Amino acid sequence: SQQGEEDPQALSIQEGENATMNCSYKTSINNLQWYRQNSGRGLVHLILIRSNEREKHSGRLRVTLDTSKKSSSLLITASRAADTASYFCATLDTGRRALTFGSGTRLQVQP
């Protein structure tokens, strides 16, 4: 089963609103990463938060991490139609040095 599970599965908002996506994971982590996937394309790395960090910002993105609850959230502020995409969290399997991806949140931003 997947290490990360995203919530909600799908989200539709109006341009200018904030979008919040949540990710829960099962085992202890070294870091947690968020990726974005435009329809029919590969994934693009957005932001990484290490296990000893609680919050991180990058432009309009804000990521939080609560290791006690094994959860993370991604906030996109002042959303734009171009933010329409699927967003995935990923955690590192240190044994295989490979990422395990969650099920994704499909974000639709209406212009």
Partner 1 sequence: EADIYQTPRYLVIGTGKKITLECSQTMGHDKMYWYQQDPGMELHLIHYSYGVNSTEKGDLSSESTVSRIRTEHFPLTLESARPSHTSQYLCASSEWDSSTYEQYFGPGTRLTVT
**Interstrand relation of 105-110 and 98-101 (parallel, antiparallel or unpaired):** unpaired
Residue 82 CA to residue 70 CA, distance in Å, equals 30
- Does the protein bind partner 1 through residue 29 (CB under 8 A)? no
Kindly tell me which residue out of 2, 20, 24, 64 binds partner 1, with binding defined by CB under 8 A: 2
- Does the protein bind partner 1 through residue 26 (CB under 8 A)? no
- Residue among 106, 105, 95, 109 nearest 30 (CA): 95
Q: Which helix (H) or strand (E) holds 106?
A: strand 105-110
Q: Which stretch binds partner 1 (CB under 8 A): 18-26, 51-59, 67-75, 89-97?
A: 89-97
- Does the protein bind partner 1 through residue 96 (CB under 8 A)? yes
Structure tokens at 14: 């109006």
Q: What residue ranges bind partner 1 (CB under 8 A)?
A: 2, 31, 33, 35, 40-45, 48, 86, 88, 90, 92, 96-104, 106
